[in-house]
Structures are given as structure tokens and as C-alpha cells.
């Protein structure tokens, strides 16, 4: 009976995914450049957050290091194309390999630790990464960043911004489909067995013969690869990058998106990213009418209020409000 319900919910998720894909791919037909840029920001953050949800929501491993891997993807693509003249597509693939290899090494070292210590260590990694980016001026451009990063678009038949939009969202939906499949697979069940928030634990998993360290490193690396892909697309889309973008504040923002959206499903990444990016846009438009000066402080206050409200009233995030489980048949045996 449980397998039947799970299968029906999986089919419903893929049906919803198909409808959402059609919707987002048709948006450029009636939306202007300004709104497309906002939706692209949502897509970038959704990909980064999706990787974190797999790590935190499925495996139960706290991490505040997504900005490091987002930055590694962006800087790898930027350096390879501007300084070594690699083709953008090849640079994107090499950035994935570079980021994934570094993440696997970090994961083997960091994930031997437990609980909140892991989040503290990954947060320190953010600070180290920011220091290196600012210090290695000949490589990263220091505080000035890197400019003249080539676009991904291989042809000039459509505008670069439109190509970037379609490419970003196709990648986002492919990663979502992969994530949904992973969550519903044997690997996903093994990860939830390790997750104390799902009623399991590492000791329980080890008793059942699950190689806990292997799975933790794999999902940590996978989350880093998601962030790397988002970073490369971001760099090639904008054509320039600056170190301020990849600070610890980004990792904290992505963690809030994961919590607000809901860590029980990869769909939560899109809900969290859409809500917080929409809020940022509204504050940028209307806060300046009420107060003078930058609105960054007001964004932090708003994020904090939303986070506290969600933790108080929706501890599982927004995703349960959108999940409709198929009713169980009364005649099931």
C-alpha cells in the first residue's frame, strides 16, 4: 500500500514538473527583459538551494558552504575562458570537475565531524575562500573581479539573454528531475535512514550495512556540483564577477531559502528562492520610498521575520502546503 501511494505521488510530481516546464519556457513570450532577469535570479538560487536540500533535508548534514562552490564554479569558468582561452562549454564542464574534486576532498575531511560543528567549519571555509579570492590578484583579479567573460551562446540567432534564460531553466528542471528520482531511489532511502530528522541515524544506518561516509561524501559533492553549475551559468550570463557576491552571506541566504521552502523535497528550493527573491525585489522597489539609503538592512530584517514565522508556524517549510498526497484506497490490503 505504501509503495502504491509513493508511486502515485511520484507520478503526480513528474506531471507537475512537466506543467511547470511548459509554463517557464513560455514566459519569454510575454515577459520583458527586467522580469526575465528576476526569474533568472530565482533559477540560479533554486539550483544552489536544491543541492543544499539534498544534503540537509535528505542526509541530515548541516552545511553553510554553498557560496564556496558557487564561487568555485564561477571563477573556474571565468579564469579558464579569459586567461586560458577555453571554450565556454568546456570551461563549464571543467569547472564541475574541479569543484566536485575539491568538494569530495573537503567532504572526506569535514564530514567526519558531527552536527553543528560541520556547519561551523563550512562557514569558516567561506571566509578562507573570500580571503583567497581577494589575495590571489593575478589569478582572480582581487577586489576588481574578472570581466569580459564570454557568453555560452554558440550561435547569434537569438539574443544571449534569451539563450541564457532557456539554458538555465532547462538545466534547473533537469536537475530537479534528477533530484526527485534520487529522493525516490534506493540512495534516497539510504540517505533518509542516516538522517536523524527522518527518524533514523548514522548508527542505525551502519547496523543496516549502509556505508555512511560514502553516502555523505557523495551527496556533499553532488550539492557542490549543483552550486558549481549555477556559478558557471551566472558568470557567463553576466560577463563579469566580483568577490563580494560569494561571501558567507550567500550561504546563509541559501540556507534560509532551504528552510523556508522546505527540505523534505527538492521542490522546496524553488519555493524558497521565489519567495525570498520576490521579497528582495519588493524591498528594493518600495523600501526606498519609505526610507533613504540602502535597503540591505531591511532585507535582513525581513528575512529574519520570515524565517522565525516559518520555524514557528511551518517547521517543515512551505512545501507541505503544496504537497497533496493521493488518498489511500480504503480497499487496499
Q: pLDDT tens digit string along 206-227?
A: 888 889 999 999 999 999 999 9
Residues 6+ apart with CB under 8 A from 56: 62, 63, 255, 258, 263
Grade residue 6 by pLDDT with cuts at 50, 70 and 90.
Answer: low
265 pLDDT higher than 60: yes
* Predicted pLDDT at 62: 86
Range 195-200 average pLDDT: 72
pTM of the model: 0.90
Grade residue 330 by pLDDT with cuts at 50, 70 and 90.
Answer: very low
Q: What percent of the chain has pLDDT over 70?
A: 89
The mean predicted confidence, pLDDT, of the chain is 87
328 pLDDT higher than 50: no
d(CA 174, CA 178): 6
* Predicted pLDDT at 140: 96
* Predicted pLDDT at 59: 87
Give, in order, the Cα–Cα distances in Å from 296 to each of 38, 218, 260.
Answer: 17, 36, 19
Grade residue 160 by pLDDT with cuts at 50, 70 and 90.
Answer: confident
pLDDT in tens, 15-60: 888 898 899 889 998 888 888 999 999 999 999 999 999 999 888 8
3-state secondary structure of 132: helix
Grade residue 292 by pLDDT with cuts at 50, 70 and 90.
Answer: very low
* Predicted pLDDT at 329: 38
Q: What percent of the chain has pLDDT over 90?
A: 56
- What are 300's three cell numbers? 535582513
* Predicted pLDDT at 266: 93
Grade residue 310 by pLDDT with cuts at 50, 70 and 90.
Answer: confident
* Predicted pLDDT at 203: 84
Range 287-291 average pLDDT: 50
pLDDT in tens, 94-130: 999 999 999 999 999 999 888 789 999 999 999 999 9
d(CA 192, CA 204): 11
Strand partners, 241: 146
User: 10 Å Cβ neighbour count for 189?
Assistant: 14
* Predicted pLDDT at 325: 45
Cβ atoms 88, 26 nearer than 8 A:
no
Amino acid at each position: 500500500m505504501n509503495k502504491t501511494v509513493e508511486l502515485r505521488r511520484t507520478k503526480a510530481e513528474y506531471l507537475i514538473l512537466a506543467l511547470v516546464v511548459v509554463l517557464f519556457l513560455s514566459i519569454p513570450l510575454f515577459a520583458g527583459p527586467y522580469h526575465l532577469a528576476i526569474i533568472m535570479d530565482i533559477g540560479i538560487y533554486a539550483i544552489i538551494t536544491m543541492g543544499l536540500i539534498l544534503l540537509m533535508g535528505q542526509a541530515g548534514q548541516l552545511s553553510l558552504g554553498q557560496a564556496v562552490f558557487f564561487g568555485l564554479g564561477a571563477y573556474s569558468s571565468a579564469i579558464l575562458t579569459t586567461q586560458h582561452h577555453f571554450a565556454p562549454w568546456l570551461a563549464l564542464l571543467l569547472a564541475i570537475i574541479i569543484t566536485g574534486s575539491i568538494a569530495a576532498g573537503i567532504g572526506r575531511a569535514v564530514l567526519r565531524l558531527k552536527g553543528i560543528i560541520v556547519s561551523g567549519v563550512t562557514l569558516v571555509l567561506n571566509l578562507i575562500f573570500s580571503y583567497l579570492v581577494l589575495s590571489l590578484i593575478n589569478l582572480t583579479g582581487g577586489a576588481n573581479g574578472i570581466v569580459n567573460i564570454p557568453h555560452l551562446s554558440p550561435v547569434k540567432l537569438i539574443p544571449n539573454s534569451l539563450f541564457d534564460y532557456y539554458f538555465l531553466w532547462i538545466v534547473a528542471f533537469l536537475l530537479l528531475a534528477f533530484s526527485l528520482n534520487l529522493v525516490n531511489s534506493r540512495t534516497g532511502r539510504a540517505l533518509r535512514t542516516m538522517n536523524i530528522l527522518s527518524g533514523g541515524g548514522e548508527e542505525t544506518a551502519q547496523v543496516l550495512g549502509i556505508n555512511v561516509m560514502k553516502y555523505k561524501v557523495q551527496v556533499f559533492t553532488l550539492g557542490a556540483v549543483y552550486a558549481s553549475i549555477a556559478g558557471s551559468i551566472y558568470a557567463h550570463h553576466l560577463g563579469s564577477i566580483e568577490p563580494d557576491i560569494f561571501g558567507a552571506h550567500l550561504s546563509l541566504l541559501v540556507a534560509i531559502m532551504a528552510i523556508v521552502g522546505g527540505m523534505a523535497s527538492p521542490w522546496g528550493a524553488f519555493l524558497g528562492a521565489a519567495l525570498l527573491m520576490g521579497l528582495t525585489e519588493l524591498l528594493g522597489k518600495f523600501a526606498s520610498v519609505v526610507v533613504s539609503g540602502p535597503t540591505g538592512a531591511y532585507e535582513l530584517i525581513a528575512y529574519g521575520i520570515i524565517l522565525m514565522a516559518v520555524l514557528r508556524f511551518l517547521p517543515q517549510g512551505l512545501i507541505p502546503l503544496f504537497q497533496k498526497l493521493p488518498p489511500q484506497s480504503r480497499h487496499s490490503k
